[in-house]
A and B are shown apart, each in its own frame.
Chain A
Amino acid sequence: QKEVEQDPGPLSVPEGAIVSLNCTYSNSAFQYFMWYRQYSRKGPELLMYTYSSGNKEDGRFTAQVDKSSKYISLFIRDSQPSDSATYLCAMIANEGGSNYKLTFGKGTLLTVNP
């Protein structure tokens, strides 16, 4: 079983839809959780960062973490065509041997249609 599982999609939604992107993980040592957005042929950019269970909001984006279920989500409200990108979840352990390394999901390709 891979440490981080993410459905690669592709996911296609109409403009204005609520989008839900998800990752599951198996390593209980993961303590910090990130979502990156990557436009085609560009480097990823950090979108959201959380470290505790619960929700974190930033504008139209909400990151949700459920450590008991080892499940994280990113919700996008009122989705726009400019949100079309690949979304990568990433996480990091908080233990001496592993805290140098981000572990990434494979990414979900999202298309928002006008």
Chain B
Amino acid sequence: DGGITQSPKYLFRKEGQNVTLSCEQNLNHDAMYWYRQDPGQGLRLIYYSQIVNDFQKGDIAEGYSVSREKKESFPLTVTSAQKNPTAFYLCASSIYGETDTQYFGPGTRLTVL
């Protein structure tokens, strides 16, 4: 079964703590993306990676960090520097050069207590 998995589905964090969201894909896609979705805001791009060991900031990268050590995996760390981290986080992937056809994971809902 090919697809994108994100874990956990729900995550709670205390203020001041870093937390890492997992994203794994077995679609053999080169490119992977992280988005944040807030009510009434649509999807906003946090980071993207077009190949292993390379990634670029999106529109709202401040307070986030990523790594891309393996093709299948693109974890996102929400650091304590992110001022308003409570949101729905979506990971996506695509074939290299086919940014217009992205496949999304089920999302992780992060709540900061």
Contact = CB atoms under 8 A, between A and B. Distances in A.
B82 to A, nearest CB: 20
Contacts, number: 55
Contacts of A70: none
Given A43-B90, A44-B90, A88-B42, A102 B107 contact: no
A43 B101 CA distance: 14
Interface of B is mostly: strand
Given A42-B107, A43-B104, A107 B99 contact: no
Interface residues of A, number: 24
Given A43-B6, A101-B45, A105-B42, 5 more contacts: A43-B92, A43-B107, A88-B42, A92-B99, A104-B43
Interface of B: 4, 6, 40-45, 48, 50, 56, 58, 88, 90, 92, 99-107, 109
